[in-house]
Amino acid sequence: MISDEIYDLLEPIIKTYLPEDVSAIDINRSSDLTRELNINSAHLVDIVLDIEDKFNIEFKNEDMEKLRNVNDAILLIQQKIAK
Amino acid sequence: MNLEYQTILAQLPYSEPFLFVDELLSVSEEGVKGVYTFRSDAFFYEGHFKDNPVTPGVILTECMAQIGLVCLGIYLLEKEDLPKDASFALSSTEIDFYLPVFPNEKVMVISEKIYFRFKKLKCKVKMINSKEELIAKGVVSGMIIH
């Protein structure tokens, strides 16, 4: 799956967990999920669980540590789909 | 109460007047059951309500979170061999209330794990009174922070 396709599936998942003071327009590939999009750590877990369901993959604890921005998520998803 | 349950209670990060767990009846990886009796001299009855003491909903929520999330969280941390010096943060609650709780009432909290992943624990909780009537039910989640 190319990264644009992943992005299109990922964006609505992230949108669900955006706080009210952050607009969906602010989401881009370099958006830091917690610092810029203001997603709290509990909702970051929700995003990962939704990603797992959507792409039928499984995240590990160490993957969580690598997950900072939207691009990190896309790369992790790509690596896992390829396996 | 068996030693394992006593050990869990000893690790709770609360003390009077904000400890709302008396005893655990059962704990497993799937859930927890515990009881608490609201003492009539608790600080909040003085103002909630004026001349009409009723346990505040936030205190019932706190009781459900202490038994349903934190006691279970401590147990799960031990099972997974994670560091025990963790702290807990409530991240979300969605509770419906059905009956009031008056001073000296004993309640039971029953919590079922929905998931425990990436240090987030999400549980279905309910509180019942001594007549087994439903006081409150809902979903609570919290993060374990190292």
**pLDDT tens digit at each of 146 positions of chain B:** 788 899 999 999 999 999 999 999 999 999 999 999 999 999 999 999 999 999 999 999 999 999 999 999 999 998 887 776 789 999 999 999 999 999 999 999 999 999 999 999 999 999 999 999 999 999 999 999 87
Q: Which CATH architecture has domain B3-145?
A: Roll (3.10)
The whole-number pLDDT of residue B19 equals 98
Verify whether the Cβ–Cβ distance A42 to B120 is below 8 Å: yes
Tens-place pLDDT, residues A14-44:
999 999 999 999 899 999 999 999 999 999 9
* CB crowding A9-33: b at 16 or more within 10 Å, else e: ebeebbeebbeeebeeeebeeebeb
Cβ atoms of B24 and B5 within 8 Å: the answer is: yes
For residue B118, which residues of chain A lie inside 8 Å, CB to CB?
44-45, 48, 59, 61, 64
Partner residue facing A64 (CB), from B92, B118, B142: B118
Nearest-5° Cα angle at B71, B128 to B39 = 50
Among B58, B57, B67, B59, CA closest to B42: B59
Q: Checking phi first, is residue B104 left (phi over 0); if not, alpha (psi -120 to 50) or beta?
A: left
Which domains does chain A carry? 3-82 (1.10.1200.10)
Strands (DSSP E) found in B17-145: 23-28, 31-37, 87-97, 106-117, 120-128, 134-145
**CA B44 to CA B42: how far, in whole Å?**
6
Work out the minimum CA distance from B81 to partner chain A, whole angstroms. 14
Domain locations along chain B = 3-145
Q: Is B118 on the interface with A (CB under 8 A)?
A: yes
Burial of residue B96, with CB atoms counted within 10 A of its CB: 0-12 exposed, 13-18 middle, 19 or more buried:
exposed
Cα diameter, chain B: 49
The whole-number pLDDT of residue A32 equals 95
Residue A13: what residue type?
Answer: I
